Amino acid sequence: MARIWSLRHYFLLAFAVVYIQANEEDGITVETVEDDVYQTPNIDPKKVYLAEHFDDVSAFNKRWVKSEAKKQGVDENIAKYDGKWEIQAPSRKLLKNDLGLVLTTEAKHAAIATLLDKLFEFMDRPLVVQYEVTMQEGQNCGGAYIKLLSKGIKSKADLKQFYDQTPYTIMFGPDKCGNDNKLHFIFRHKNPKNGTIEEKHAKKPTLRLDDIYKDKEPHLYTLVVRPDNSFTIYIDNKEANSGSLLEDFTPAVNPPEEIDDPNDKKPEDWDEREKIVDPTATKPEDWDETAPAQIVDPNAVKPEGWLDDEPEMIPDPEAVKPSDWEDEMDGEWEAPLIENPKCSSAPGCGEWKPPVIPNPNYKGVWRAPLITNPNYRGKWSPRRIANPDYFKDDHPFRMTPITAVGFELWSMSPALLFDNLIVTDDENLAAAWAAQTFALKRDRISSQAESLVERGLKFAGENPWVYAVVIIVSFIMVGVIAYMCCGPRTPDVDAEIKKTDAVVEDDPHQSEGEQPGEGEGQAEEQEEREGKRGKSELEGADSETEPAEPKQVDTEGAGDGQRKRKPRKE
């Protein structure tokens, strides 16, 4: 049913594509219908720590501060945070009068921040951070994450010095470069024992992230961190990641109670070999290492009727010297070779040679057997000691308080748009905020898609030729889907190959540079091949169960118009 439904949508999509193409050729564009459904969201400031819709340019200019700092550790020419931030309408207008914060430059460091309305302290209420990102031109490399800046940022003057080393409590949001698609949730944890700060990175999301970087549509990112140390991340209200601050971060919040003793060293006489070569074993006197793996079959008899004096290949008697052949230029002409017809009714032609068979006296290189090592003491490992840096923090939720938020980014794609940022301690309030903003955009996108298909169908009704184009396109789509689902498969040949020579780790017999099974496997393969050949020759070429393998014949010079050219005379 799912496949049939998908094909139906492909068919409708074909109508829409043809409709758009036809209208563009006539100089007509598909306009976005704007109405007054959207109103700038309003929320009680007492219920939030920050609520920013970016619709009021004057309020934005008063509140947000662009960084004037320089990034450390990079070339002076690119160190300055000179990326441009502007309040703009989206390039794809979905809602009338809806504006957003846009990073208009690419390949430049850019930073901008604002103070919270009040200090957020990690006590008995959850932290909820939510904002929208629209990668209007897609994203190849760069971040779109937000930083929640730690207590210590107190004024706009501090925000002017916002840069990559500014202390933050949480970093959250999408980041991509190449095929590495990320959704960061990093929190900085303070060691209660020595006061050092260490970043803790959340496990990878369970939701696929590919589309959010290339569909050029708005996406909603929500992070909820709760006092019970649990967290949940949503993308477009769908859970993308969840877990515990204590269990699902790297490195772990709490270090291990015991560690390997760094001063414990393996004794020099510690023997970890389970098996050793038997020192008492000696090669038997009758063991002949020089005996070949195969010998000529002494019982083989030349088949009756073998034509010793007949060659397997003869000049073609019907071949004619080409009319343009010049002996002086091309050399003496020779007819091309063909199979000797007299050989087809005989067991064989040419010099007969008896087949080879496995040598019953072949033993190969002698190796001493392995025995259990009487001095084996097992695998060595250092002793465990109490971790001198151990501590136990059962409440990692109690992070450093937050006083500001900011975007500190570098991107290879311009026109990153941010919108409808909210910081609160109420999940329901964040959901209501999204219902007034993000939900309206998604509804508009869905309605535009449906309207586009409807207009495509209407256009097709007025232009019957469209049906022929749609049918062709649909058949191509169905063919591609069928090929992808049911097309030919390449068998996994490697899975069917069975290795006969096992490699033993630390094999005492194996000398340096020697490949396991070298020589033996080749001998067995040659033995099997030659054995079949001998059997075929003995049974005759007319055998139905095992036809004789064709002999390798020197056919140099055979072929069409066989020419042996001499060097041209100067």
Kindly report, residue by residue over 220-244, the tens digit of the pLDDT: 999 999 999 999 999 999 999 999 9
Give the span between the Cα atoms of 209 and 207, in whole angstroms: 6
Between 490 and 135, residue with greater pLDDT: 135
Q: State the average pLDDT over residues 374-398.
A: 95
Residue 565's pLDDT band, with cuts at 50, 70 and 90, is: very low
Residue 544, pLDDT > 80, answer no
The Cα angle at residue 372 between residues 371 and 375, in degrees rounded to 5: 125
Residue 533's pLDDT band, with cuts at 50, 70 and 90, is: very low
Q: Is the peptide bond before 251 cis (omega within 30 degrees of 0)?
A: yes
Average pLDDT of the chain?
A: 81
What is the pTM assigned to this prediction? 0.62
pLDDT (tens digit per residue) in 427-452: 999 999 999 999 999 999 887 765 55
Q: What is the pLDDT of residue 521?
A: 44
Q: What is the pLDDT of residue 136?
A: 93
Residue 21, pLDDT > 80, answer no
Instruction: Locate 242 and state its tokens.
Output: 């969840």
Per-domain boundaries in the chain: 1-38+454-481, 39-258+396-436
Residue 508, pLDDT > 60, answer no
Q: State the average pLDDT over residues 325-331.
A: 89
Q: State the average pLDDT over residues 456-481.
A: 69
As a whole-number percent, the residues of the chain with pLDDT over 70 amount to 75
Residue 255, pLDDT > 80, answer yes
Candidate CATH numbers 2.60.120.200, 3.40.50.1220, 1.10.510.10, 1.10.3720.10; the one for domain 39-258+396-436: 2.60.120.200
Q: State the average pLDDT over residues 523-528.
A: 46
> What residues have CB less than 8 Å from 410, skipping those under 6 apart?
83, 107, 108, 109, 110, 142, 143
Q: State the average pLDDT over residues 290-315.
A: 92
Residue 456's pLDDT band, with cuts at 50, 70 and 90, is: low
Q: State the average pLDDT over residues 173-189.
A: 93
- 376 membership: H or E segment, kind and range: none
Residue 457's pLDDT band, with cuts at 50, 70 and 90, is: low
Residue 525, pLDDT > 80, answer no
> What residues have CB less than 8 Å from 149, skipping those under 6 apart?
113, 162, 166, 167, 168, 169, 402, 403, 404, 405, 406
Q: What is the pLDDT of residue 538?
A: 36
Q: What is the pLDDT of residue 452?
A: 52
Q: Within 13 Å and on the Cβ side, how many CA atoms surround 467?
A: 5
> What residues have CB less than 8 Å from 41, skipping those under 6 apart?
51, 53, 420, 433, 436, 437
